[in-house]
Amino acid sequence: MDNRSTDAEPSLADFQQVTQLIDGFWATQVLAVAVHLRIPEQLCDGPKSATEIAAFAQAHGPAVYRLLRALHTLGICRAVAEQRFELTPAGRLLRPNVPRSLSGRARFCGDMLWQQFGDLAYVVKTGNRTRVVDTGPDAFKKLSADPGRVESFQRAMAEGSVRTARDAVVHYDFSKFASVLDLGGGYGGVLSVLLKENPALTGAVCDLPYLEQPALRYLDDAGVGGRGRFEPADFFAAVPGPYDAYVLKFIIHDWDDEHCLKILRNVHCAASPTSTLILLEQVIPDELSTKATDQAVIRADLTMLTIGGRERTAAEYRELLAQGGWTLTQVIQISPEFSLLEAAKA
């Protein structure tokens, strides 16, 4: 074995790279707290003082000022006068209900994901799910007891679903379908985009019953309430249908093979002979690099490791789908990180 590369002395650039990786924790919490205090929303109409922001947030004024300085160094806001700050274009992405919003993601990463990754050593040593967040098959039902976390989680998922669906409609023709089910779709981020982009399409978002009212409000706010319904169901028990297309975004990666096969076979039972199954997932490349896109899919895989799921290669998806009664017909790269996997009944 050639050990020359491992024997080389680390450079200053190597030191700076590793330091930046280690120190990444602070930005996650700064952004999450900023969103929690609604700082981006407060600044969207113009500069405000730290005192004004603190009063609105019912927070400690001097501490808020120091947080704003941190946001300044991260490029989220900028100081325009003594203790007065304005929002930057990047900071606008932390407002809720705006195109490409990252508000929900910031809150989710600073709360649930923060706790999950804090337990990563235990997960890796034991192979078990994290102990700090309930992640079993009934976890999504139990989450209903915490409305704040429901909103944070579902907003984060909807934001990501909208972005992914917008990429999907550029690369795949959904107009060939008359009906679509956004299975496990939460508020219906995917469905909202598909209905907007295809005026003749009708469909539903399917999830646990407690999400019905917020999902219907979300679809109404998106302007597609007239063509979008809510179907309450537990996809481990049964799936409604038949629909021309069943779209599952970030669903299969949540689970081990046993639970995935329950979902896939339930969809198979509900689907018509001509129904199409569409998975929107991050596919692990056959060869990994240090590129940001490869880091993203492996970060997602470690996230799934903490809850008992996993990201998969195209070959692994092909095999899993076959066991569930489906034939993988094509894999389309729709963005640097996401792929659309199309399957037909075997």
Question: Which residues are the active-site residues?
Answer: 253
Looking at residue 136, the DSSP 8-state letter turns out to be S
Which position has the token pair 């491992």?
6
**Tokens representing residue 12 in the block:** 């200053």
The letter for the amino acid at 40 is P
Sequence-distant (≥ 6) Cβ neighbours of residue 250 within 8 angstroms: 157, 160, 161, 280, 281
Question: Which of the 8 DSSP states describes residue 84?
Answer: E
Nearest to 165 by CA among 294, 284, 334, 304: 334
Q: How far apart are CA 215 and CA 23, in angstroms?
A: 37
Beta strand 339-345 with 326-333 is: antiparallel
Total Cβ atoms within 10 A of residue 92: 17
| Beta-sheet pairing, 245-249 with 179-183 | parallel
- DSSP assignment, residue 187? T
Helix axis angle for 189-197 and 147-171, nearest 10°, is 30
Distances (CA, A) of 286 to 14, 279, 315: 26, 19, 9
264 burial type by CB count under 10 A (0-12 exposed, 13-18 middle, 19+ buried): buried
Q: Which two tokens stand for residue 291?
A: 């590129």
Structure-token match 């539903």, residue found: 204
Residue whose C-alpha is closest to residue 265's, from 324, 222, 312, 213: 324
Assign 238 to helix, strand or coil. Answer: coil
Q: Which two tokens stand for residue 268?
A: 């198979």
